[in-house]
Structure 1
Amino acid sequence: MDLNDMGQLHAFLMRYRCIESRPRNRKLRRNESELAGILIDSGTEGLEQMNRFLAGQGLDLIEFTDTDMPGITTGGRVWVLARSPEATPPAFFSIDQVMARMKLRDDTREVAAVWYLHIWLIHLALLYSRKGRAVSAISGYLDSAFEEETLIQGVRDHIERVRGIGLDAGAEQRVYEILSDERGTDIAKRVRAFLGLMVDSGLLGRADSGVFEQTLLGAVEISQSFSRTLQHVLPDEDALSNIVNISAPVAEKGEEEEAWPEETE
Structure 2
Amino acid sequence: MTPPTTAARPCTLNAAGIELSALLALPDRATPRATVLAIHGRGMRAAYWNTFIPLATAAGHAVLAVDRPGYGHSAHQLPDGQDLPGQAETLHAALKEHSAQYDTGAGILLLGHSDGGKVALHTAATSGAVPLLGVDASGVGHHYNPEALHFPSTLGAGATRLNWGPLHLYPPGTFQASRTLLAPTPPREAAETLRWPAQYADLAPRVRIPVRLTFAEHEAWWHLTDHTVAAMTARLTGSPAVTVDHLPASGHNISLGHTAATYHQRVLDFLDTLLTP
TM range (shorter): under 0.3
Computing the radius of gyration over CA atoms, which structure comes out larger, 1 or 2?
A: 1
Give 1 or 2: higher helix fraction: 1
| TM-score normalised by structure 1 residue count | 0.24
